[in-house]
Amino acid sequence: MGKKTAAVMKGDGIGPEVVDAMLMVLRECDIQSEIVMCDAGSEQWDRNGRKDPSYIPDDTMAILEESDACFKGPTTTIPIPGAPRSVAVTLRQKFDLYANIRPTKTYERLTQGHGLDCVCFREATEGLYTGIEARITDDAAIAIRKITRHGSDRIINAAVRWADDHGMKKMVAITKRNILKETDGIFWDAAQRGVSGHNIELSEMYIDNIMQQLVVNPGQFNGAVLVSTNLFMDIVSELASGLVGSIGLIYSANIGDDFAMFEAAHGSAPRFAGQNVANPVAAICSGAWMARYLGEADIGDAIFAATEGVVNDGATTTTDIGGSATTVQMACAISDGAKTLLRR
């Protein structure tokens, strides 16, 4: 089998700092896959005169098409009509990366009696992210929430596979079926079909209810796979991230049948750009997951274990989780820990 290739985009705002931290850790761990750097995001779009209809230049797209996986640093999406679509949404649709997955687990030191250990599965190609919007009159605009049986089946089946592989016995399908009877009816039917024949207890929770349940009693979701449509799970997973202590800890993957994109769950946090203060854990763990995906599981496992050690130890952590270390210092502590584990 030939050498695997990963395309890496540094992105905007704090992106270059956290992606440099991630690359440093992978290289210190002697990753064998080839890393190919390319550009994407609104800062390069600005620099190039705002002419391109996309935040992803054609030469970057060509590199992505030749790669086995990619890593996307956080990118800024300018919120005005006519500006390009988000890089993440574009790549999810282009490569049909239908499963956005966020394992969401508290670290012991940060738990404070509210431990949470679940995984969030978000359908990432349809729902309210189809980009189909129309201004009907001066007064009114509509957006289309498209839910299909095919799209629902494949995200549910991916969630069921994860549950089976990780010994998780609970699945919560999040809907608003009392109001969205047709669209969420399709999603709920898929959930029931998907768990049939598996040792998984399925329940349904409405989106409004689960938001308050997560705040009041997050522990009830321990060991559960939470699965939902695009926008609902965007919001649920973000709330769950807050419960873990910092969005700077949450890593994610967008996985399709032939390609995958790895990214921190957080955005470009422009206010902190260039200050060497951003928490690098989300980017580093997303990179560790990419290493596993590329067949270098030993490196991925070592980085995850070292990160857990550094976060729980607390001596070299960034300010968002109570420390005073810089991005670079925390990344070095993780890389030292991972190298020690790999040498054993």
Binding site for ligand NAD (CB under 6 A): 14, 18, 74-77, 88, 246-248, 263, 266-269, 271, 278-279, 282, 320
Nearer to ligand NAD, 9 or 299 (CB): 9
Nearer to ligand NAD, 256 or 267 (CB): 267
- Give the C-alpha separation, 38 to 261, whole Å: 14
Nearer to ligand NAD, 231 or 247 (CB): 247
* Minimum CB–partner distance for residue 37 and ligand NAD (Å): 17
Q: And the tokens for 13?
A: 């705002």
Nearer to ligand NAD, 97 or 171 (CB): 97
Nearer to ligand NAD, 270 or 295 (CB): 270
CA distance readout (Å), 66 to 33, 35, 36, 284: 14, 12, 10, 23
- Give the C-alpha separation, 278 to 14, whole Å: 7
Q: Which of 337, 236, 221, 212 shows the shortest CA–CA distance to 285?
A: 337
* Minimum CB–partner distance for residue 298 and ligand NAD (Å): 26
* Minimum CB–partner distance for residue 45 and ligand NAD (Å): 12
* Minimum CB–partner distance for residue 220 and ligand NAD (Å): 26
Q: Are 311 and 241 in contact (CB under 8 A)?
A: no
Nearer to ligand NAD, 174 or 282 (CB): 282
**Residues pairing with 167 in the sheet:** none
Nearer to ligand NAD, 16 or 248 (CB): 248
CA distance readout (Å), 113 to 138, 213, 218: 51, 16, 10
- Give the C-alpha separation, 311 to 323, whole Å: 10
* Minimum CB–partner distance for residue 169 and ligand NAD (Å): 31
- Give the C-alpha separation, 239 to 211, whole Å: 8
Nearby residues of 327 by Cβ (< 8 Å), 6 or more positions away: 17, 18, 21, 276, 277, 278, 279, 280, 318
* Minimum CB–partner distance for residue 332 and ligand NAD (Å): 16
* Minimum CB–partner distance for residue 39 and ligand NAD (Å): 14
- The residue of the chain with the least Cβ separation from ligand NAD equals 267
The string of DSSP letters for 163-200 reads: HHHTT--EEEEEE-TTT-TTHHHHHHHHHHHHHTTSS-
Give the N- to C-terminal CA distance of the chain in Å, as an integer. Answer: 27
